[in-house]
Structure 1
């Protein structure tokens, strides 16, 4: 599966970000702490250029801190990146944002030269909740499904700090299929764009491998099967996802499991590490190179065929011309004889 969900307003949002990026001093990128890499938008990295970015790893209460620390270490040393675990529900975290922003943009921050920050991120990571927490009032619509914000808002936090909200944007093509699944498992794309059972099985395989004890404890599993489908069926039977006759409703089972994953009912987790992402990126590049090589091979193989077709067309044209010349000569001869 590869999730490709790119509503029209997202294309508009991309153009808007391009237009205002030259006026921005810093980007505040809200990420999902459970998928620190997959919840980044590579398009945003391209658009921001050298503009510094403060990465807020939101929903830290749902994340495995040990794995989260791997990402903080991974980004250390990059002068344009600052990253912190974060929660929009933690007032202490929200209060630190002004301090973090000032550290990255020390040359601005006065009433005459306020820091102009853009809040950005993919859908459903908590951008609107962050804006409301920063401003101390409800100014942005908050929803439990992606793509609630659909227009830009420019607001003053303090005399020396302004924020610009942008719509959550996914990129047109998600090249890494594994990232597609992780985005779907954590709820970054609309559920109407995914196959519930398919996504749930991927998420379940991850928990069976990486967080076995938490999974067993949550669903009181005994002698857990190694087959994710069988485990999902057991979860469904234990959680009342049954049809008439006692048959397990697998779609309902998937809904139950994904709801538990997204709310943290199974326990804190992080679905990716820097090492894992580096490996996946290599596989993606290898697959792209293989696809390109196959394309070039098809073109190379087609050259003789096109040349043969061209030669045949040339010979046919020459024959037609010869036949025409012969016909013309014959007509002239007949005319001379008649005279």
Structure 2
């Protein structure tokens, strides 16, 4: 499956990040805990250079907790500041604020030494579409400051938002990169919803996802979809799930479009279980 999606506004976002970088003290790089490497935009490090950065592993409530713990160690061993976060419960939010203040303490102390007044810390948040930026910002701000949605492209332009702990945050729209060199990365991004379903062949996408889940997380698929037979092919599993869910057209044909959307939605919402598609 050949997947590429790089609409014009993403090129503008890349330019916006480069332009606004001089205004900020710290960058939050937001990753999807289920696919930390696939959701890490390879352009970001080159754009932000030496600017202090905090990696935030979001959506830990949807990922396998043991594998998330291994990812935290993976990034720490590379000398990176990394914080796992659940924007539903608020887990990790206080640590994000503390790490941000720590990262700019030296800069603020230098301002005070010069006789100038310490100003609010300025933060930029960057990440791929649909990785939960808006939900994170609302938790950091302690109120609903920005629109959220379970689809890519909800944030349209830059906006400054006041956060707790005397900080200001510059939100930016989700940004991918022009060409996915690795088809597995593109596939993982599509599974997570970072690429718009409207441009996808969702039936093939759901088939590929089900194939991976059956191979690597079989017990979760069996439990979720009440499978009590042994199947050797993905299409037979898909047909079984379709019949269980009543996704049948006239003439007893399988409604593959409907069951594909169900499988994708239930993976993305964690209904199939806490599943990580990548391991360190």
TM norm. shorter chain > 0.5: yes
Structure 2 match to 1:300 = none
Q: Is the 8 A contact 1:39 1:183 kept in 2?
A: yes
CA deviation profile, 1:184-228 (whole Å, cap 9, x unmatched): 111111111111111111111111111111111111112331211
Structure 1 match to 2:154 = 148
Q: Is the 8 A contact 2:145 2:161 kept in 1?
A: no
Matched, 1:167 2:173: yes
Question: Root-mean-square deviation (CA), in Å?
Answer: 1.7
Q: Which moved more, 1:83-92 or 1:6-15?
A: 83-92
- How far apart in 2 are the matches of 1:2 and 1:230? 24
Structure 1 segments of 4+ aligned residues over 6 angstroms from their partners: none
Structure 1: unaligned runs, 5 residues or longer: 275-339
Structure 1 match to 2:26 = 26
Q: Is the 8 A contact 2:72 2:83 kept in 1?
A: yes
- How far apart in 1 are the matches of 2:48 and 2:227? 47
Matched, 1:181 2:187: yes
Q: Please show how residues 1-339 of structure 1 align to structure 2 within 5 Å.
A: 1-79=1-79, 81-108=80-107, 112-158=118-164, 160-274=166-280
Answer 1 or 2: higher relative contact order, Cα 8 Å, separation at least 6.
2
Greater helix proportion:
1
CA deviation profile, 1:302-339 (whole Å, cap 9, x unmatched): xxxxxxxxxxxxxxxxxxxxxxxxxxxxxxxxxxxxxx
Deviation of 1:182 after TM superposition, in Å, equals 0.9
The structure with more radius of gyration: 1
- How far apart in 1 are the matches of 2:268 and 2:108? 37
Q: Is the 8 A contact 1:31 1:39 kept in 2?
A: yes
Q: Do the aligned partners of residues 47 and 6 (structure 1) sit closer, same or farther apart at CA in structure 2, a change above 3 Å counting?
A: same
- How far apart in 2 are the matches of 1:46 and 1:198? 34
For residue 61 of structure 2, give the secondary structure of its aligned residue in structure 1: helix
TM-score (norm 2): 0.92
TM-score (norm 1): 0.76
